[in-house]
Every structure is written in structure tokens, then in C-alpha cells.
Amino acid sequence: MRKKMPSKPSKEIHFTSEIRVRFVETDPLGIVWHGNYIQYFEDGREAFGRHHGISYLDQKDFNFSTPIVKSSSEHKLPLRYGDVATVKTTFVDSPAAKMIFKYEILNPSGEVACTGETVQVFVELGGELSLTIPDFFKEWKRKVGLLDD
């Protein structure tokens, strides 16, 4: 029988932001339509990127984009028109050339309304998928304490 090696805990970085539910994001009952939570994930990701220096514009400056290749969400409680919700965005470190984000959206009472995850890969602006971690991303990981070397 093989002995299972202890896994190294993944490092994470968080950022918390707020969104206000707009009228256009709700159904006739004033409840947020489920598809809009993906937009809230993006709002959280953009706020995270601006705060931590890894925004889409920063990536573009290095000739890369990071399209989403996977997304998932689980809906727990509804958000309603006018609610100010909290979006907790967590970057989960990975040794692969990708960005993994987890999300927790809290209603105004602090209860979990939705959770989710997105996975993004690095693509050179010319269209080539990067199979290795781009240098600028390695440098960013060093800067925020995710790489020790």
C-alpha cells in the first residue's frame, strides 16, 4: 500500500469589495437573476486585481489576457434590488500557468448568498496559450509572498 504524502497547503490572497444590486439585474420579483452572479464575480476579480496590482490592464501591458476556461456557482440565498452585497474574492495559488479565484457573496445580513469559482489561463495577445507561467506573473507572485525563491 502506498503511503500518501502530506500535501502542502495552498497559499491564498483575499480582497473584499462591495456591489449594489441594480434594478436591471433583477427579475419581476426584485430578486437577482442567477446569471448576474458571474458578473459579481468579475466585479470582485477586478477589484482584487486593482488592489493587488494584477488587473486585466496590468496583464495587457505584458501582452497577455486571461480568459475564463471554467466557472461554477452555487446559489444559497437571494439578493434583492437595492442590496449592498459583499464580494470576498480569494486567489488560490497554483503551480500551473493559471489563475484560480474563489468567491463568496454575502447579503447585507452577512449570510452567504452565493459561492463560486473561476479558472483563467494565460494567452498571449497574439492567441498562443502559455503552458508556462509568464515572467510577470512569477514576479507578481514573489511580490505578494506566494513564491519563496
pLDDT at 10: 65
Task: Give the Cα separation of 38 and 47 in Å (integer).
Answer: 14
Q: Residue 84: is its pLDDT beyond 80?
A: yes
pLDDT at 41: 98
pLDDT tens for residues 86-108? 999 999 999 999 999 999 999 99
Mean pLDDT (whole number) for 108-117: 98
Q: Residue 81: is its pLDDT beyond 60?
A: yes
Q: Greater confidence, 133 or 147?
A: 133
Longest dimension (CA), the chain: 58
pLDDT at 121: 97
- Record the pTM: 0.90
Mean pLDDT (whole number) for 42-52: 97
Task: Give the Cα separation of 106 and 78 in Å (integer).
Answer: 10
Place of cell 442567477: 34
DSSP string of 85-117? EEEEEEEE--SSSEEEEEEEEE-TTS-EEEEEE
pLDDT at 107: 98
How high is the mean pLDDT of the chain?
93
Assign 62 a pLDDT band (cuts: 50, 70, 90).
Answer: very high
pLDDT at 11: 86
Beta strands in the chain (DSSP E): 12-20, 64-65, 68-75, 84-92, 98-106, 112-121, 123-124
- What percentage of the chain reaches a pLDDT higher than 90? 89
Task: Give the Cα separation of 94 and 11 in Å (integer).
Answer: 8
